[in-house]
Structure 1
Amino acid sequence: MEITQDMTISEKLKILTDAAKYDVACTSSGVDRSNKGQGIGDTHACGICHTFSADGRCVSLLKILFTNECIFDCKYCINRKSNDVPRASFTPDEVCRLTIEFYRRNYIEGLFLSSGILKNPDYTMGLIYETVWKLRNEYKFFGYIHVKAIPGASEDIIEKVGFVADRMSVNLELPTKEGLQQLAPNKNYTNILKPMKQIQMGSGRLISDGKEGYQIVTRTGRKNNSKFVPAGQSTQMIIGATPETDYQLMSVTETMYKQFNLKRVFYSAFVDVNHNIDSPAIIGPNPMLREHRLYQADWLLRYYGFGVKELLNKEHPNFNVALDPKCDWAVNHLDKFPVEVMRADYYTLLRVPGIGVKSARRITVARHYGMLDFNSLKKMGVVLKRAAYFITCGGKTMIPLSMDQDALARTLADTDRKQVYAIENDTTYKQMTLMDLGLKQ
């Protein structure tokens, strides 16, 4: 371990932004907050994320670690205590100054703050709480703040952070207890799931009910009207470091959404930065393509009404790398097609490849006012190069429909080939870092 001393804030920034790049759990804000003329910054539900908000604006977060020093020795982590890498730590005031100065220059719209574990979880979370409290109360910053909760930290400090942050997240790290024990022996599922349950249930102290569950004892006497983690929580899983199938991964995801009411589950394709782990779960030519398919399936769970067992099973445990999960499902359920768009209900329309949430809603409204045609569907956002194989419109087809599974799968794979090529050859867009701006102290 190389411990650096007397570093400038720019030197710390370079180390601690690079150290944070493997944490992907930045997401839309989902909350509104105005500064009411008493501070700087505000937060809109339209979204703070890596690249684009819901209204099309390109936005960004200051994404840093508070420190990359760590007492744990997780095999997959570049910041593990046994690695010989430059170490740095911010002070609370340094994080506040960076956030404010970058915001004033219009470089960022919010803060994503994670950390290695310095001394112990409570000590580190205490520093994070001090940082965010100062941003809110001394620097009057009302922008979006996403904080990573550290497993093992006390309920009291988690509660305090929850009243000053917009979103909190606790990394699940690996999908199974066995994988966690193998690659992160200092961590355990109890310490990970307990703060997730506390964030889900709200402020207060968790008391075991004696049946492997918890009840919340809410504190009384709060004198302010602060909301507890108003934008909810998310988590992240590393995929490919342990041999779980896509079916196992998505089953864990479905359970997390149902039991902890998460806003998002993020998937991070395993990168063997320490060159010390075999990767038996890499499926297909590129782990990034597998990650892409998992995100597509995640979207189907959250917005399209699919269940994991509809998409995968023990006999078919992994996604088709050549087809997106929705198209793959449709090709394997041709008995449910074609769908007549003038009569099908909303949830049936959602099952059609090329019809999304917005276009399905537009169809259900527009057909009350007259007959639709394929040109109308295209204007509503329907991707006809996919949907045309699965729909009729007023009893008519756009192209001759084929019930040949193999031929249809090949045709649909061709429509997706450009996107797959970009993922496999690493030509997709990447997150901009603050170092790209050529900043100097």
Structure 2
Amino acid sequence: MSEKLRILTDAAKYDVACTSSGVDRSNKGSGLGDTHACGICHTFAADGRCVSLLKILFTNECIYDCKYCVNRVSNDVPRTTFTPDEVCKLTIEFYRRNYIEGLFLSSGIVKNPNHTMSLIYEAIWKLRNIHHFYGYIHVKVIPGTSPEIIEKLGFLVDRMSANLELPTQESLSELAPNKHHKNIITPMKQIKDGMGHLLPGKNDGYYYPMKYGGYKSSKFVPAGQSTQMIIGATRETDYQILNVTATLYEKFKLKRVFYSGFVDVNHNIEAPSLGGHSILLREHRLYQADWLLRYYGFTAGELLSKEKPNFNMALDPKCDWAINHIEQFPVEIMRADYYTLLRVPGIGVKSAKRIVSARRYGKLEFSNLKKMGVVLKRAAFFITCNGKTMMPLNMNQDYIARSIADSDRKNTYAIDNNITYTQMNIFDMGVN
């Protein structure tokens, strides 16, 4: 089984949608594992992506021939498939050795989507009902799976996701002719409509057994759903990608959209030029913008436009927006509302809340702001505190842009040249 594990962990490394926050559950002494909203251990892949849990493919067999996928049917690679019992054994043994706190399970396609997802359902059912595993489980849905299987599986797992793959149908038709956005959107809508619903009836086998008899009622996909887009393989602009992201958040209540920088594993795609920058830096800027959409009250149209369709690689999106809207600054710390504070570079969600709370009890000084987590080397260009400035404000846009870009140059260089993270190999942990 170690050879299967080697093949199917390596085959899963390009799937990045595996964060595990968003749900709490205790086994109350009746099984194995607990899930805590922020309690899952994370490691980082060599290219900077966040990797968590025991992350494997159920199979790297596939009936599709997507140009960007290492597991495409036309590729001559070693093929293998786990059995449901093998998935259970691996998950339990890795958990008992304290290497993991949960499972992230994706898959290629054996025979057809329903056949493959039925095998995955069997594995998850056994984990929950036979092995009493209460740890976090995230499963990828294969487009084309029947709604009945998705419904049953949704009451067993914490999070589900259906990969959008590429931002537009045109790109999908070009690189993955067997796939269609409609088949991907359909399970997304089903998951969105079912989220939070309680499992009906008491005779279905996918209830969690309780220690002293009876069954524990379960919610459908309590940690929500996510998706993943490959970026950089086709010619969509950042503006197009961000608008797709905003639509997904609005219509399907997604917890996260993940961006996977294109890796030309098959050497058969001529990716667009990024002007000398790596795909990792573009991916990084998209994640920063994504954060602004979800927590800072920005819209896609504020950050980019048809006239300015791509992010500034030298500045993060929030700083770039502030410099291009310099007429809205400086902001007075003692008077600005919460959402105005969030638009100041160097002030985040936590520090904005602390400022709003603390200023009710007295005047704030720049020294207080630093203790609250404000990054003054950014914020000082955009704020006053009790009418005072930290330094003489030079509101010339070029001067501010150069100053902030210079302070960020080391971090930007590290991301652009892929020297920020190191790979953690599951076989380095002494597993036999």
TM class by smaller structure: over 0.9
Task: Indicate the residue corresponding to 2:156 in structure 1.
Answer: 164
| 1:239 and 2:231 matched | yes
Q: Could you say if the C-alpha distance between residues 302 and 283 of structure 1 is closer, same or farther in structure 2, counting changes exceeding 3 Å?
A: farther
Task: Indicate the residue corresponding to 1:306 in structure 2.
Answer: 298
Partner secondary structure for residue 63 of structure 2: coil
Partner secondary structure for residue 366 of structure 1: helix
| 1:276 and 2:272 matched | no
Amino acid at match of 2:329: F
Partners of 1:221 and 1:38 lie apart in 2 by: 22
| 1:289 and 2:281 matched | yes
Structure with the bigger RCO (C-alpha within 8 Å, sep 6+) is: 2
Partners of 2:259 and 2:86 lie apart in 1 by: 31
Partner secondary structure for residue 251 of structure 1: helix
Partners of 2:320 and 2:52 lie apart in 1 by: 34
Q: Which aligned pairs between 1:13-92 and structure 2 lie closer than 5 A?
A: 13-48=5-40, 50-51=42-43, 60-92=52-84
| Displacement of 1:203 | 7.1
Partners of 2:233 and 2:163 lie apart in 1 by: 15
Q: Which aligned pairs between 1:63-142 and structure 2 lie closer than 5 A?
A: 63-142=55-134
| 1:435 and 2:427 matched | yes
Task: Indicate the residue corresponding to 2:213 in structure 1.
Answer: none
Task: Indicate the residue corresponding to 2:177 in structure 1.
Answer: 185
Single out whichever of 272-281 and 361-370 deviates more from structure 2: 272-281
Provide, for residues 109-151 of structure 1, a one-character-per-residue CA deviation record: whole Å limited to 9, x for no partner: 1100000001100000001100111001111110000000110
| Displacement of 1:46 | 2.0
Please say if residues 199 and 218 of structure 2, whose CA atoms lie closer than 8 Å, have aligned partners that are also in contact: no
Partners of 1:328 and 1:220 lie apart in 2 by: 50
1:407 to 383, 399, 407: 399
Partner secondary structure for residue 137 of structure 2: strand
| Structure 1, unpaired ranges of 5+ | 1-8, 53-57, 205-215
Amino acid at match of 2:141: A
1:264 to 246, 256, 259: 256
Task: Indicate the residue corresponding to 1:3 in structure 2.
Answer: none
| Displacement of 1:427 | 1.1
Partner secondary structure for residue 171 of structure 2: helix
Partners of 1:96 and 1:268 lie apart in 2 by: 28
Partner secondary structure for residue 11 of structure 1: helix
Partners of 2:305 and 2:145 lie apart in 1 by: 37
Partner secondary structure for residue 113 of structure 1: strand
Provide, for residues 29-84 of structure 1, a one-character-per-residue CA deviation record: whole Å limited to 9, x for no partner: 300111011001010112436349xxxxx994100000001000000000000000
| Structure 2, unpaired ranges of 5+ | 45-49, 208-216
Partner secondary structure for residue 112 of structure 1: strand
Partner secondary structure for residue 367 of structure 1: helix
Amino acid at match of 1:374: F
Amino acid at match of 1:415: S
Please say if residues 26 and 49 of structure 1, whose CA atoms lie closer than 8 Å, have aligned partners that are also in contact: no
| Displacement of 1:219 | 8.9
Please say if residues 20 and 52 of structure 2, whose CA atoms lie closer than 8 Å, have aligned partners that are also in contact: no
| 1:229 and 2:225 matched | no
Task: Indicate the residue corresponding to 1:338 in structure 2.
Answer: 330
The CA RMSD measured in Å over matched residues stands at 1.8
Provide, for residues 340-395 of structure 1, a one-character-per-residue CA deviation record: whole Å limited to 9, x for no partner: 11110000000000000000000000001111111110000000010011001111
Provide, for residues 161-191 of structure 1, a one-character-per-residue CA deviation record: whole Å limited to 9, x for no partner: 1010000000000000000011001111111
Amino acid at match of 1:146: H
Partners of 1:73 and 1:369 lie apart in 2 by: 63
Q: Could you say if the C-alpha distance between residues 376 and 79 of structure 1 is closer, same or farther in structure 2, counting changes exceeding 3 Å?
A: same
Aligned residues: 415
Please say if residues 29 and 144 of structure 1, whose CA atoms lie closer than 8 Å, have aligned partners that are also in contact: no
Partner secondary structure for residue 42 of structure 2: coil
Partners of 2:24 and 2:281 lie apart in 1 by: 34
Partners of 2:322 and 2:330 lie apart in 1 by: 10
Partner secondary structure for residue 368 of structure 1: helix
Provide, for residues 236-273 of structure 1, a one-character-per-residue CA deviation record: whole Å limited to 9, x for no partner: 00001110000000000000000000000000000000
Task: Indicate the residue corresponding to 1:376 in structure 2.
Answer: 368
Please say if residues 195 and 219 of structure 2, whose CA atoms lie closer than 8 Å, have aligned partners that are also in contact: no
Partner secondary structure for residue 266 of structure 1: strand
Amino acid at match of 1:242: T
Task: Indicate the residue corresponding to 1:213 in structure 2.
Answer: none
Provide, for residues 286-340 of structure 1, a one-character-per-residue CA deviation record: whole Å limited to 9, x for no partner: 1100000000000000000000000000000000000000000000001000001
| Displacement of 1:430 | 3.8
Please say if residues 284 and 321 of structure 1, whose CA atoms lie closer than 8 Å, have aligned partners that are also in contact: no
TM-score by length of 1: 0.91
Q: Could you say if the C-alpha distance between residues 219 and 30 of structure 1 is closer, same or farther in structure 2, counting changes exceeding 3 Å?
A: closer
Q: Which aligned pairs between 1:382-401 and structure 2 lie closer than 5 A?
A: 382-401=374-393
Partner secondary structure for residue 292 of structure 2: helix
Partners of 1:129 and 1:310 lie apart in 2 by: 43
Partners of 1:219 and 1:41 lie apart in 2 by: 22
